[in-house]
Amino acid sequence: MFPLFESIRIENGKICLTEFHQKRMDKTFDKFYKKENPWELKQIFSQIKVPLNGLYKMKFNYSEKKYKIEFKKYLLKKIAKIKCYEINDFTYTFKLSDRTKIEYFYTKKLDCQDILMIKNGYLTDTSYCNIILFDGFSWFTPEKPLLKGVQREKLLVSKTISKTKIKLNEINDFKQFKLINAMIRFEDYLPQNVSNIIF
């Protein structure tokens, strides 16, 4: 099994957010292997055929010595309710293939569609997404997510969202939320009411 991966959106043949994926991979490679990342995504992608019609997820699995690319048709799924779940000192700073602990946390969602992981009283991420919240004027995202997602980074760079610390007991200071990741853009879903975040 490859220890690391990136999930990359392909829409009608267009590969999205390549530069953000490259940046995250470079940091990950430096951390794990203490060397420069040999995988230049733009160069690799210029040599492969991608699906030209519809929405696909490209899974770029990689290690120090090799990589493997997989394509899968992707269907957007609406998440209506999320269940808060305390994760204590769990970390997921890098996009690891081993998601065993997160998958265990996910089983605690009860009748909701996902979990919202709470760390030391602060909001982090759901099992697959970063969360952003709207206070009536602006959109915010937790300052310290478990994983710095590429869609989150794009929205921060464009100043569409801002970072802030958000305590669990401050959720009701906000009105709405959205979930985002490499496959789910800001504009893909209408916002949900924060009453759909279940304590």
Q: What is the DSSP letter of 92?
A: -
What are the distances in angstroms from CA 25 to CA 16, 81, 100, 108, 114?
15, 31, 21, 30, 26
pLDDT at 1: 82
pLDDT at 85: 98
pLDDT at 86: 97
89 near 96, Cβ under 8 Å? no
pLDDT at 80: 87
The pTM for the full model equals: 0.94
Spell out the per-residue pLDDT of the chain, length 199, in tens.
899 999 999 999 999 999 999 999 999 999 999 999 999 999 999 999 999 999 999 999 999 999 999 999 999 988 889 999 999 889 999 999 999 999 999 999 999 999 999 999 999 999 999 999 999 999 999 999 999 999 999 999 999 999 999 999 999 999 999 999 999 999 999 999 999 999 9
Count CA within 13 A, CB hemisphere, residue 181: 18
pLDDT at 8: 99
**What whole-number distance in Å separates Cα of residue 89 and Cα of residue 117?**
11
pLDDT at 78: 83
* Helical spans, DSSP H, in 46-167: 100-106, 150-157
pLDDT at 106: 98
Token pair of 61, please?
Answer: 């699995």
Closest CA to 139 of 168, 176, 111: 176
| Domains along the chain with CATH numbers | 4-73 (3.30.470.10), 82-198 (3.20.10.10)
pLDDT at 77: 87
